[in-house]
Structure 1
Amino acid sequence: MNVDQILTLIVLVTVVAALIWDKVRSDVVALSGAAVLLMTGVVQPVEVQGAFASPAIIALASLFVIAYALELSGLLDRAIAAAVTMCQRMGAAGLWLLLAIIGVFSCFLNSTPMVVLGAPVVRDVATALKLPPKRYLMPLSYITVLAGCCTLIGTSTNLLVDDMARVAGQPRFGMFEITPVGVPLALAGGLYLFLFSGKLLGRAAAEPGPKVLDGNIQGRGIQIGDAALFAEPRPFQPVKAALAAAVFIGAIAMAALNIAPIAASAFAGAVLLILLRVVTADEAYGGLRPQILILIAGMVVIGIAMEVSGLAATATTALVGSLHDFAPLTALIVLYALTMILTELLSNATVAVLVTPIAVALADSLGVSPRPFLVAVMMAGSAAFATPFGYQTNVIVYQMGNYRYMDFVRVGLPLNLITFAVAILAIQRFFPF
């Protein structure tokens, strides 16, 4: 290895160790790694600038603003109120229907704000119906993550993999290109949760959660905050709600019809909401989640360093050396398993940046299309079900539901295996080598 590769590897190992140690905020860890790479000349300032202005960052930031406009207009509160009424009429079946509805929205909105808004509602409705909240809070987190796998914008993992693949010279993914894989994944996972999650939780599902949720929730070093504080009631403003909804639907439609990339349509939509005074500029800035955006940007810099230094190619050569006698399907299974295991230990953004360049180089070395390998990274990069710290939404319900660590292992580990099998079958069917 050359000097740049050694430096990149040292930074990579240090960043990964710091993220596992989890004593320093993950966005600070990622920025520190990017700063070292910049100061040592492994990456150039123009490459760092490109990382902070990448399409994934622009798309996520813009979608955060649009989602915040929907919240401020009171439209989400109206939707939640209707859901509560439905659950009061239908009982436990209504709660599962509510989870399914939240899942549908999570196909197009980031899962974290959906869980932040929905978790207190699910908890309170379950309590009012004299049902154990634990039975529904964990499935809420899992369902939003599974639903996020259905579209390109459903989770930051998908956007980041798409962005890193573009850096590696691959064509961009369409809005619904991964839907044929994501939908079977979500349906299989949802059915499993409906049938077995309560049984696997056993007595734990009947134990009461804490009556008061205080303090801050920490996930991957990112301060998420008290979920109850995010449920602040907003007065319904019909005109602003209609405008925000129209802009959101328009941005999604333009991207789905390939009129404009999602980064462009979402950015234009966010600016339009400010010009129409649906949100003020200050409110728009308040809707951003800088910790998440900075974390992703910092990890993109590390991913670029892996690419330009040749470290990704070296790692792939080592991986291929152990897989050279195997078929592409075996390589795909190994890559999926590796990505899924890493996702349980690290943030999904970290894993997406680490594995995407390796996936592209691995496919090239095997002489097959990189597409199935990239889709595998997208799916496995979000499939963090076996620990409460694999995904931010898990952290939220972990404290709110007063779960134990092993509760996630009992329910999440079988879910990992089910989604693994379904994803491999679906990728084979819709993304041939």
Structure 2
Amino acid sequence: MSLALPNYHALGVLLLVLLALVLFSRDRIPLETSSLVVLAILTIGFQVFPYVGPDGRELSPTDFYAGFGHQALIAVCSLMILGHGLIRSGALEPVGRGLAISWRKAPALSMLATLLVCAVLSAFINNTPIVVMLLPILIGVAMRTGQSPSGMLLPVGLISIVGGMSTTIGTSTNLLVVSVAADMGVAPFRMFDFIVPAAIAGTVSVLYLWLIAPRLIPERQAPMQSTVKRLYTAQIRLGKSSEVVGKTLAEAIDRSGGNMKVEKIQRGPGVFVTPLPDVALKAGDRITTTATRDNLREYAHLLGGRLFSGDVEVDDAHPLGPGDQKIAEVAVTPQSRLVGSRISEARLLSRYGLRLLALHRYNREDQTRSTGLDNTVLRSGDVLLVQSPSSRLNQLKEGGDLLVLDGSVNLPKTSKAPIALGIMVLVVAIAAFGILPIAISAVAGVLAMLLTRCLNWKEAMNALSIQVVMIIVASLAMGAALMRTGGADWIAQIFLSLSFGIPSWAILGLLMLSMAALTNVVSNNAAAVIGTPIAISLAQQLMLPAEPFVLAVLFGSNLSFATPMAYQTNLLVMNAGGYKFNDFVRVGLPLMLVLWVVLTLTLAYAYQI
């Protein structure tokens, strides 16, 4: 079977898709930046080289911006805000607290209950806040029982992804696939139209993650507290004989090796001097700095001063004490304002009262070796070892930027919880019964949460992710370009020629496996939107119903279990639990392959292909 090359525009789009997949797989390039590159190339390219389709209509470059107003994006953003409203109002507090209590009584059955609850909630709520809610609970269980949390965290993270593929609103991927398919003429999927194959896959997943997965995971310890020295704040008081009296602060810092960070200079009762480099130091000045015990003593010796903690001179009889300072591990959440910020610009001390002691991240070494810790760009899932007063850590638990991994069950509980839960139930019910599309009912739900003060505008905006918005818009643009230029048809023809002679159900399985492989390397939203027009074209050329092929793309794009970078909660769980890359391969790859077989056979049987 001969296969002609596509037209130049389709070929250009295919090359751009390949470039996009490469960009999306690069950790060091933000997804939103890669998405903007794709949009810019598409619009400029079609403006400079206009394309006229077979129907005689010219494709307007501005059509690629339509994703910003697409109903799928509106629904995704609204559901992200609604999920955040449930967490902030404490609507899920009874669930979390009930699980925490049950873990003390029957750990084995509680693990099963946790998996089931997580799967069910993830079918209707974005799984990120659910995982964020459960992580401290499970870590607390591990602390109380003296066991490693590694057998708990990874299974819970993976089941949240499985649960998310059960309904049209479970993940942004699902919403994108069903919306793009509807735009292309496929009968719209209702909320529970594919619940049966998803429930079968979910049952298999729960049994695997409950009974088998914990035995496959080596014991891991999240790691950092034993390897890092505590910081202490003290004053270096300069006497008349101090060698730095009369010199500038910059010269004094140079004497310390350039490492001393001066927080303030006190010059007499209630008099403070701004610690600028050119400030001349005087006898009696009190320099406040924070460092390890050994470094503080070294600084005092080099500056010719005496070390004080409060009004007591530090010596063998009066050593430095921690005071109210606690050491804790905190994780950067996917919706955090800190994502994309350099550590030196994050203002951890002034904004959150945190002193950074160490950073834990999968393959962090390669970046920090070349850039240094201060220039490291924070990512979702990064775990920071910090030192802070207890009060500031408690305040941190009420924000959404950092998740305190101290094992405490400190879930929000407000009088608005029943209202927020009722709004969410109404949104889902109205969409499930076909009264209103989810894009409309979800927007109405956001308005209801704002009017009832379950959320304020600042919290609503914090729930949104520019990364999610940009990847969805860019993916929709690439999908539209593939379809309009004939690129999707050409890929479908290649797929058919390579699979010539095999049964249609096997072609369906190969399509799902291709999406599963792709989604573990690049964004699942990108894989889904690119794969949907190809799936529809494939079904048309096989003269088969499009629905099973669309679902093959939907399910395949959700099988993001085999690598930590495949899904944002994977990275969060990985860093919080101290997992290695191979742990995801060891546990996630078998799960991916088992669900691929189960879902392929289920779809083939259900649609008789």
Same topology, TM > 0.5: yes
Deviates more, 1:163-172 or 1:367-376: 163-172
Are 1:21 and 2:26 matched, yes or no?
yes
State the partner residue of 2:197.
181
Could you tell me which residue of structure 2 aligns to residue 414 of structure 1? 590
Counterpart of 1:317 in structure 2 is 493
Aligned residues: 429
Per-residue CA shift, 1:349-396, capped at 9, x if unaligned?
Answer: 111012111100000000000111111111111112221222111111
Q: Which segments of 5 or more consecutive residues in structure 1 lack a partner in the other structure?
A: none
1:172-321 alignment, distance < 5 Å? 172-201=188-217, 204-205=218-219, 207-210=220-223, 213-214=329-330, 216=332, 223-225=379-381, 229-230=402-403, 233=410, 235-238=412-415, 240-321=416-497
Distance in 1 of aligned mates of 2:26 and 2:445: 39
Which residue does 1:87 correspond to in 2?
A: 103
Of 221-230 and 395-404, deviating more is 221-230
Relative to structure 1, the CA distance from residue 109 to residue 3 in structure 2 (aligned partners, 3 Å threshold; closer, same or farther) is: same
Which of 505, 517, 532 matches 1:329?
505
CA distance in 2, matches of 1:215, 1:276: 31
CA-CA distance at 1:208 after TM superposition: 2.2
TM-score of the superposed pair, with normalisation by structure 2: 0.67
The structure in which a higher percent of residues are strand is: 2
Which AA in structure 1 matches 2:160? T
Match of 2:156 in 1: 140
Tell me if structure 1 keeps the 8 A contact 2:142–2:149.
Answer: yes
1:277-303 deviations in Å (ceiling 9; x for gaps): 322223222222222122111111111
Partner of 1:168: 184
Match of 1:358 in 2: 534
- 1:377 aligned partner: 553
Determine the C-alpha separation between the residues in 1 that align with 2:27 and 2:490. 28
- Alpha-carbon distance in structure 1 between the residues aligned to 2:382 and 2:100: 21
Give yes or no for contact 1:73–1:234 (8 Å, CA) kept in 2.
no
Deviation at 1:214, TM superposition (A): 4.8
CA displacement at 1:46 relative to structure 2: 4.5
Which residue is equivalent to 2:321?
Answer: none
Q: Distance in 2 between matches of 1:235 and 1:23?
A: 35
2:144 corresponds to 1:131: no
Unaligned runs of 5+ in 2: 1-5, 52-58, 226-327, 341-377, 384-396
**Closer, same or farther: CA 291–185 of 1 in aligned 2, 3 Å:** same
Task: Report the alpha carbon displacement of residue 218 of structure 1 after superposing the two structures with TM.
Answer: 8.4
- Match for residue 14 of structure 2? 9
Structure 1 residues 86, 245: closer, same or farther in 2, change over 3 A?
same
Q: 1: distance between equivalents of 2:592 and 2:175?
A: 22
* Displacement of 1:244: 1.0
Q: Partners in 2 of 1:261 and 1:46 — Cα distance? A: 26
Higher helix share: 1
Contact 1:87 1:98 in 2 (8 A): no
- Is 1:396 equivalent to 2:572 in the alignment? yes
Does the 8 Å CA contact 2:492/2:537 hold for their aligned counterparts? yes
CA contact (8 A) 2:332 2:382 kept: yes
**Structure 1's 341 and 277: CA in aligned 2 closer, same or farther, altered over 3 A?**
same
| Contact 1:372 1:432 survives alignment (8 Å) | no
The answer for the alignment partner of 2:123 in structure 1 is 107
Amino acid at match of 1:430: A
1:40 aligns with 2:45: yes
- Quote the Cα distance in structure 1 between the aligned partners of 2:382 and 2:174: 27
Please tell me the residue identity of whatever aligns with 2:159. I
The CA deviation at 1:162 is 0.8
Q: Name the CA distance, whole Å, in 2 between partners of 1:50 and 1:171.
A: 21
Segment drifting more, 46-55 vs 382-391:
46-55
User: Matched residues, percent identical?
Assistant: 30
One-letter identity of the residue aligned with 2:63: E
